[in-house]
Structure 1
């Protein structure tokens, strides 16, 4: 791909330099946002913790399913023995009330479930929404009408009610994390993605290069893959980045209601469900999964907003050069300084000329 030339003003002169490619521009804009970089580091750390859960629990010497009845005070209703919920060298964050299962092990394995379900649901939502949106945008009037009405039905469908109904009728031997991801993906998210992709497709298909590909005899599939998908990448990636924290919250809510991931598989929402009666006796049992959920959702939200700004040239331009009033103020401040420099340079040339004549 040939590089476009951009004009850069520096020190009162103009020079033409090659513009950075799309990927380089994206990373440059993203690096300019410190909050997004911090959020990306937090998300990367959470992913590493989720992937390294077996190694971390092996270092501690525990697992998320083993009961430790000796660490529970049955006379007090199942409160962990010792201070701070039973924290010790063997149990870094203490143990669960009533069961004595290691809290650190369940927390890091819960990250696997929460992040895995959210990411799987996001991928399914993006794929389904993109296919439906492109098909509606490129199809004839009747195809567009039928697909748009189906999409509107799912947009209006309440997630929690439909999820509760679907999860209640599915056999219990079906893998619960996979089922939760499928329910979240099919009930919500994809319909909004489809409407956004359809609107973008209707705009892009009227451009000259897309119209030329269709007039040249290309099939609808080839036109969509070769011409439309590159133009749809930026808005779809932006929306997908914002879908992940929403899906994490949905999984936590379903597990909190008791229809999500079932024990003994750990999940942050499931831990919150059983922690609501222990917040006084063992507050870390409630605060740790709630804090992990808050940090994860907040970091993903900030990162998603940073990706949106980095992929939006108008937003990036506003971040780089400011608004029109700020640009004018900078120009007004730079004008006297440029005049002063010019007068100094002119005076220096005059003095040099006098010396040469002398």
Structure 2
């Protein structure tokens, strides 16, 4: 229990101190990973920029939908007038080719769409995957068989083909960001979450405290909520942190194919759709949304890997970024130094004896 006190012996005296909470231990482990902390700061800035998009665009004095035909050169096919895509004090990152819409406003509003869709899809994937996985792990043989086969069917579905088919038949009146989030979450992601949760549930159901709760007459739902979900929290949070960058990439891919978020709602993938025509005349139109996608996905991936290692300290990081590898190398050398010195000291007398015997 979180309220329990742990007896700790220090300096020959018995002192009862509160046991470190799980959140405290997690933060202590996460603080040792500088790359994860930097990634968390980048993600926090992106989320803050997305939430404050109306305030930031009001500060600039622009919005993401207003056309500025006077800022583009119609004689050259709609290329922005001026250097760096028409960047100025009124348009911080320039304007969009052919339309003259403000690039900064479209980028920050596009962050709202990309992050909102990915977070919403991740939430649905986690809730549905945990429910299906726990039900399959605690159910009888037939329930487990039926739910596992349903999960296998969804795992085998190709996301892009199913998304293209579903997005084509849904009326345009349905909110597009919500529709994209639902399709991403229902077609992919939740099935692999359910597989992982089912495996963890089968491992936990045989532990003594879970068996005791079931033998005491608790219902299956009460056992799952009170005993299993706390043990499933760490792997589920870890997998959810790694799902977010995948969902961002999926939303960008659907918008790039022209079946995701529809204009005039800005989206990074949608901006990349028409950028391939302008990458020579206005390269910033391609580089800015591509850089935003790269930084977001990379930061989310590094943060997810850091969360995974912090929740399971026995697992090694897959991403050797920053000074963590150097610190581990120095720690290994420091641990090996006493052994090497002792071995060298043990070999010196033997060498002297051999030399003395050789002279004799």
Q: TM-score range by the shorter chain?
A: 0.7 to 0.9
Counterpart of 1:119? 119
Name the CA distance, whole Å, in 2 between partners of 1:47 and 1:131.
28
Name the CA distance, whole Å, in 2 between partners of 1:15 and 1:275.
68
Counterpart of 1:340? none
Q: Is 2:299 the counterpart of 1:299? A: yes
- Counterparts of 1:138-149 in structure 2, within 5 Å, are 138-149=138-149
Gaps in structure 1 of 5+ consecutive residues: 337-358
**Structure 1 residue 312, shift from structure 2 partner:** 0.1
1:85-121 Cα deviation digits (max 9, x unpaired): 1111111100000100000000000000000000000
Q: Alpha carbons of 1:325 and 1:90: their partners in 2 closer, same or farther (altered >3 Å)?
A: closer
- Counterparts of 1:168-187 in structure 2, within 5 Å, are 168-187=168-187
**Structure 1 residue 20, shift from structure 2 partner:** 2.4
Name the CA distance, whole Å, in 2 between partners of 1:6 and 1:202.
34
Name the CA distance, whole Å, in 2 between partners of 1:287 and 1:67.
21
Secondary structure at 1:84 match in 2 = helix
Counterpart of 2:152? 152
Counterpart of 1:73? 73
**Structure 1 residue 84, shift from structure 2 partner:** 1.1
Name the CA distance, whole Å, in 2 between partners of 1:325 and 1:153.
47
TM-score with structure 2 setting the length:
0.87
Answer yes or no: is the 8 Å Cα contact 1:3–1:20 preserved in 2: no
Counterpart of 2:225? 225
Answer yes or no: is the 8 Å Cα contact 1:119–1:244 preserved in 2: yes
Name the CA distance, whole Å, in 1 between partners of 2:16 and 2:312.
22
Counterpart of 1:106? 106
Name the CA distance, whole Å, in 2 between partners of 1:269 and 1:277.
14
- Counterparts of 1:248-259 in structure 2, within 5 Å, are 248-259=248-259
C-alpha root-mean-square deviation of aligned residues, in Å?
Answer: 2.7
Secondary structure at 2:118 match in 1 = helix
Answer yes or no: is the 8 Å Cα contact 2:197–2:236 preserved in 1: yes
Q: Alpha carbons of 1:212 and 1:70: their partners in 2 closer, same or farther (altered >3 Å)?
A: same
Secondary structure at 1:101 match in 2 = coil
Counterpart of 2:92? 92
Counterpart of 2:336? 329
Answer yes or no: is the 8 Å Cα contact 2:210–2:228 preserved in 1: yes
Answer yes or no: is the 8 Å Cα contact 1:310–1:316 preserved in 2: no
Q: Is 2:35 the counterpart of 1:35? A: yes
**Aligned residue pair count:** 332
1:45-91 Cα deviation digits (max 9, x unpaired): 00000000000000000000000111111110011111111111111
Q: Is 2:201 the counterpart of 1:198? A: no
Q: Alpha carbons of 1:22 and 1:334: their partners in 2 closer, same or farther (altered >3 Å)?
A: farther
**Structure 1 residue 284, shift from structure 2 partner:** 0.5
Q: Alpha carbons of 1:71 and 1:224: their partners in 2 closer, same or farther (altered >3 Å)?
A: same
Name the CA distance, whole Å, in 1 between partners of 2:141 and 2:337.
52
**Structure 1 residue 22, shift from structure 2 partner:** 1.4
